[in-house]
Amino acid sequence: MTLFSVWAPEKPVRLRVAGEDRAMEPGEDGWWHLDVPAAPAGSDYAFLLPEAGDPLPDPRSAWQPQGVHGPSRVYDHSAFAWTDQGWTGRQLPGSVLYELHIGTFTPAGTFDAAIERLDHLVDLGVDMVELLPVNAFNGTYNWGYDGVCWFAPHEAYGGPDGLKRFVDAAHAKGLGVVLDVVYNHFGPSGAYAPMFAPYLSSGSNAWGSAINLDGPGSEQVRRYIVDSVLMWLRDYHVDGLRLDAVHALHDEGAVHLLEQMAVEVETLSTELRRPLSLIAESDLNDAKLITPREAGGYGLHAQWDDDIHHALHTLFTGERQGYYGDFGSLDCLRTVLEGAFFHAGTWSSFRGRRHGRPVDRQRTPGHRFVAFLQNHDQIGNRAIGDRLTATLSPGLLKVAATLLLTSPFTPMLFMGEEWAASSPWQYFTSHPEPDLAAAVQNGRRREFAEHGWAEADVPDPQDPATFERSKLDWSELGKPGHAEIFDLYRKLIALRRSTPGLTDPWLHQVEVWHGDQHVVVRRGPNVVAANLATVPQTVSVRALPRSVLLATSPGVIVERDRLVLPPESAAVVSVR
């Protein structure tokens, strides 16, 4: 027997299953229910509303094998044969994250194909794999941020069982799994939930209609979101979630949705006896998100820190357009390495106002900030999706990697970064609706034309070649130059893990000083010195070096309390 349920206030609902339409029975709070004896796992079903001519998929569907417009399919979570019973989880503090997109990580673009590359990640030394969104969206491939079924893994990737196989295999290799999820908007095609109930508010954000988190009917909408959060962590054994653009979650309730999530995830973590992490993407520069609830915060475990990226990116590339305008100096780099945020109650020329608030360096550990040189947004939202590989010399790539992986933050790599992949990562879509496809194509071209790009130079998101170009070329991994970068990343991650001074998360223990095209970072008994110039430089480390733990180029010379660094190089030394 299967119990079918759907929330549809003041709307009589019928269920179509096993070739028959059946009236559902009203319950409390606008819910409808029906027990159907002859509807086992694998049965297709749909709901019918009075104003809808076609049957609609379940807003809480766990399986959409025929796409987001097709019927839902009954899925039995208890039927999967997990082998990770001994998995005790992976905590975020001390970890290195690795962000990947299932569709472009391998040529096949499936969960099962990604499993075959897990040994590479183990060899690299990362701890947790962060998957770009995998819940069901319209079309065959896109970035995943247009999802409309918040409980169903995308069928083209392998569906529910495929995701479970991936998580199970990752755990067998000692890797945690973080899933990127989007709760601030529905995608533009296949979002049928709002036809059933008031899932949307009268407001909007950059991606469309905002979600109803604090208006009439919002209690069930919030339940819908939190139940999705708990499902990924419980039923798919995922170790954490990255919450997309939480600043777009408009909630004026006394208990913000994010705090509600934190409370219920903590309860589930206690039940499952393994750590579960919530990581926010936010441009608010407000540590309240990651401040414990006991101290008046929301209690999330970490947040992405774009300021760190901007400080590093602008320093190494010289770019200053758009939101990069305030960044780029060595003073800026010192500010973010010591205090996480650059805009901390300070003027933002891009926004035309003051932005952010300072981080308490003695009470907020650095591991609550996820730092990166590259990610899907910072590459894919460039006109041609070019990586740092296309801009920086090998020497500067190594220096940038050293500064990231010896920082007090939680570092995150973007797939292929570890071998200086040359493949771009571009914006791609596969909308089957001609009008929607044309709107995306034209909007992308207009956006970059405003920034001086010729329309012909901007890749067509709907062209399958744009998607194919964005796939990793794994043959590069063993080639000269690429293999050298990979070896450095392995050594840096291993050094970070084995050196207590580099794992110390406390920001007040970080001291940074700089001179002409060089920067030095003191972290307890260790010093990281970086020369950004094209000529050798002598750099004071303000202590007596014991040994050189790692150097990105041969020829580092120790002279009492100074290092002579080769051009575009960095060194990590232990000091007295």
Tell me the two tokens of residue 136.
């069901």
DSSP string, 39-50: --TT-EEEEE-T
Report the alpha-carbon angle 476-482-483, nearest 5. Answer: 100
**φ/ψ bin of 11: left (φ > 0), alpha (ψ from -120 to 50), beta (otherwise):** beta
Contact 43, 22 (CB under 8 A): no
- For 455, other C-beta atoms within 10 Å of its C-beta total 11
How many angstroms separate the first and last alpha carbons of the chain? 71
How far is Cα 59 from Cα 211, in angstroms, rounded to an integer? 14
- 281, 418, 476, 504: the catalytic one is 281
Task: Sheet with 557-559: list strands edge to edge.
Answer: 537-540, 562-565, 557-559
Contact 174, 129 (CB under 8 A): no
Phi and psi at residue 302, to the nearest 5°: -165, 165
Contact 184, 248 (CB under 8 A): yes
CA 240 to chain centre: 11
Residue set of the binding site for substrate? 242-247, 306-310, 376-381
Residue that has been written with the tokens 């008046």 in this structure = 296
DSSP string, 48-107: E-TT-SS-B--TT-S--TT-TTS-EE---GGGS----TT-----STT--EEEE-HHHHSS
Contact 169, 111 (CB under 8 A): no
DSSP string, 319-359: --SGGGTT--SHHHHHHHHHHS-S-SSEEETTTTEEE----
Instruction: For residue 132, give the DSSP letter.
Output: P
Catalytic annotation present for 244 = yes
DSSP string, 140-159: S-S-STT--EEEEE-GGGTH
How far is Cα 301 from Cα 311, in angstroms, rounded to an integer? 23
Catalytic annotation present for 112 = no
Report the alpha-carbon angle 395-397-278, nearest 5. Answer: 155
Report the alpha-carbon angle 154-158-159, nearest 5. Answer: 50
Residue set of the binding site? 242-247, 306-310, 376-381
Helix, strand counts (H, E) of the chain: 15, 29
Contact 202, 212 (CB under 8 A): no
- For 322, other C-beta atoms within 10 Å of its C-beta total 8
Residues annotated catalytic, as ranges: 244, 281
